[in-house]
Structure 1
Amino acid sequence: MVGIILASHGEFAKGILQSSTMIFGEQKNVQAVMLMPSEGPDDVKAKLKNAIASFDNQDEVLFLVDLWGGTPFNQASSLFEEHKDKWAIVAGMNLPMVIEAYALRMSMESAHEIASNLLQAAKEGVKVKPEELEPEDAGKTLEASAGNSNNVGRPGSFEYVLARIDSRLLHGQVATAWSKTMNPTRIIVVSDEVAKDELRKNLITQASPVGVKAHVVPISQMIKLAKDDKHFGGQRAMLLFENPEDVLRVVEGGVPLKTINVGSMAHSIGKVQPSKVLAFNQEDIDTFKKLKEAGLTFDVRKVPNDSKANMDEILRKAQEELNKLK
């Protein structure tokens, strides 16, 4: 696996490492190197050497630095000269760039190859709102990128690449980690409540990754689409639900789901929380039991890199905690 060094002036590298971990999950062979106010070039070089020494594979190293020509860049460059046939440096580090690097190294084993594919993601992560403030050329670039996407559906039926329960619906972990892993062409939020909320609908459609269209539909409409998907035929669909009750309604309505990814269920009054990100009331527990009886399996993970948790054990703990409250 390609080792990645995030290097910056001050604690920027540490912060972006923490943020990218929240979105994409824990990463091996990634180190943050910081130039602090009391330090000089030699200190940074020593830190870079120590970071490289910690990697499983020191032949393939990618440096993501904050500023071209700054001290972190210059010291990385001094080490790079002896390894330029393998190593690579990319300046202008931002969060979309780092997340893209994590995703690319899952399928690419060369730092050069990853570096050559990073710039577009970094540029697409820079947007302006209101949109009319964006330079005309920037808008055309984004449209061209979306139009040239390989995520083009073919004639045929829906392919359900992911069905996920997440009380936050379309957010960073979904728009980056899961989208890059599952490669959908459509993200469909299935919710009667959200379908009636114009503000939430607009925010969701605007949050979709470049090249992927996002929709918000009520449950009845999702059932109709599943039975007659000629308008979306051939699309790779990622379905997002706020709760298990909505999942059960679409399954009972004929949507052919086989596995449910359980990512996040927010805590509220009357719920117990047997895990860090999942909270249940009695209706939730009963609904998951019905989904299991209907033949569905559960994939309990926040992000693709997480280990799968045991849903039966989580539900057992939730039931015990609810029983104590009675």
Structure 2
Amino acid sequence: MIILVRADDRLIHGMVAVSWTSAIKPETILVANDEAAGDSFKAATMKLAKPAGVKLIIKTKDDSIKALNNPINDRKKIFLVTETVEDACYIWERVKGIAKLNIGTAGVNKKPGEEYIPTLPQVFMTQKEFTCAKKMADAGVEVFAQITPSQDRMNFKEIEKIFAK
């Protein structure tokens, strides 16, 4: 069972490892990222940052989809972390049971040539990411921007207002 999906371009770091895992108490953190799955140094760094008592798995997006669709994982509390909202949407389209998308510090590591629109401090989205988030929200997924569980939360209606300007 996926308890939360977080789009965060830094993947596993202090906020994810400490704040979010403390708040949602997953058994497993699944990082769905093609680059990280193929980079042993990046994977080792993330494993050092993970909290004790929580299993960390790093897979490609497609291998993550296979794992999430395996009935053996239905009863596990899984915290899914993707680099972008687009990646989260790609997985959502192929996996049932995703109910919440947290747009975290996505957009901190901006890609050249992309226009990023701020929603909250440290939370930026591209038009493509907004379109993906809207698709998910329109289908009933709870989409929100929030840096940590103790900080202000922006619901999707508020995000939508920013993009309507």
TM bucket (normalised to shorter chain) is 0.7 to 0.9
Secondary structure at the counterpart of residue 153 of structure 2: coil
- Supply the AA of the counterpart residue of 2:25: N
The structure whose Rg is larger is: 1
Q: Which residue of 1 aligns with 2:63?
A: 221
Q: Which residue of 1 aligns with 2:87?
A: 246
In percent, how many aligned pairs have the same letter?
25
Asked if residue 314 in structure 1 is aligned to residue 155 in structure 2, the reply is no
- Supply the AA of the counterpart residue of 2:118: Q
**C-alpha offsets along residues 197-236 of structure 1, whole Å, 9 cap, x if unaligned?**
2211111122211111111111111211122142x45322
Whether the aligned pair in 1 keeps the contact of 2:11 and 2:31 (CA below 8 Å) is yes
Higher RCO (CA < 8 A, seq sep 6+): 2
Which of 37, 42, 48 is residue 200 of structure 1 equivalent to?
42
Whether the aligned pair in 1 keeps the contact of 2:136 and 2:143 (CA below 8 Å) is no
Residue correspondence of structure 1 range 89-100 to structure 2 within 5 A: none
- Measured in 2, the distance between the counterparts of 1:302 and 1:223 equals 25
Cα displacement (A) at 1:188: 0.7
* TM-score, structure 2 as length reference: 0.87
Unaligned ranges ≥5, structure 1: 1-158, 321-326
**C-alpha offsets along residues 182-205 of structure 1, whole Å, 9 cap, x if unaligned?**
111111101122212221111112
Aligned pairs, how many?
Answer: 161
Q: Which residue of 1 aligns with 2:31?
A: 189
- Supply the AA of the counterpart residue of 1:206: L
- What RMSD, in angstroms, separates the aligned Cα atoms of the two structures? 1.8
Q: Which residue of 2 aligns with 1:295?
A: 140
- Supply the AA of the counterpart residue of 2:136: L
Residue correspondence of structure 1 range 258-277 to structure 2 within 5 A: 258-267=99-108, 268=110, 269=112, 270-277=115-122
- Supply the AA of the counterpart residue of 2:7: I
Residue correspondence of structure 1 range 111-190 to structure 2 within 5 A: 159-190=1-32
Cα displacement (A) at 1:242: 1.0
Q: Which residue of 2 aligns with 1:285?
A: 130
- Measured in 2, the distance between the counterparts of 1:223 and 1:254 equals 6
Secondary structure at the counterpart of residue 80 of structure 2: strand
Cα displacement (A) at 1:175: 1.1
**C-alpha offsets along residues 134-175 of structure 1, whole Å, 9 cap, x if unaligned?**
xxxxxxxxxxxxxxxxxxxxxxxxx22221111111111111
**C-alpha offsets along residues 284-316 of structure 1, whole Å, 9 cap, x if unaligned?**
121111112222111322111223213222233
Whether the aligned pair in 1 keeps the contact of 2:7 and 2:105 (CA below 8 Å) is yes
- Measured in 1, the distance between the counterparts of 2:80 and 2:43 equals 15
- Supply the AA of the counterpart residue of 2:91: V
* TM-score, structure 1 as length reference: 0.46
Runs ≥4 residues deviating over 3 A: none
Please identify which structure carries the higher helix content. 1
Whether the aligned pair in 1 keeps the contact of 2:17 and 2:50 (CA below 8 Å) is yes
Whether the aligned pair in 1 keeps the contact of 2:84 and 2:106 (CA below 8 Å) is yes
Secondary structure at the counterpart of residue 209 of structure 1: coil
Whether the aligned pair in 1 keeps the contact of 2:29 and 2:54 (CA below 8 Å) is yes
CA 1:241 to 1:172, structure 2 compared with 1: closer, same or farther past 3 Å? same
Secondary structure at the counterpart of residue 220 of structure 1: helix
